[in-house]
């Protein structure tokens, strides 16, 4: 779809997008863990947000086609 419009990102850009999405998911979990460590309960939305970010990472096509 993006290739037809000549908007297909390069291989390094695809890797960068994937790393940023995975990293942001782990940052969300780290923030939730910090809140829990202070004694406050967190809602399941923290876990759902992490799952969604990691899922979006899997939706980014890998340059090697794997």
| 23, 45 Cβ separation under 8 angstroms | no
pTM, rounded to two decimals: 0.75
Q: List, for residues 27-49, the tens digit of each pLDDT value.
A: 999 999 999 999 999 999 999 99
Start-to-end CA span in the chain (Å):
18
- Distance CA(35)–CA(50), nearest Å, equals 15
User: 11-28: per-residue pLDDT in tens?
Assistant: 888 888 889 999 999 999
Angle at which helix 45-59 crosses helix 11-37, to 10 degrees, equals: 170
């Amino acid at each position: 779809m993006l290739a037809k419009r000549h908007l297909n990102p390069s291989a390094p850009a695809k890797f960068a997008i994937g790393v940023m999405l995975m990293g942001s998911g782990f940052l969300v979990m780290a923030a939730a863990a910090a809140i829990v460590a202070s004694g406050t309960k967190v809602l399941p939305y923290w876990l759902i947000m992490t799952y969604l970010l990691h899922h979006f990472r899997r939706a980014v096509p890998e340059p090697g086609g794997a």
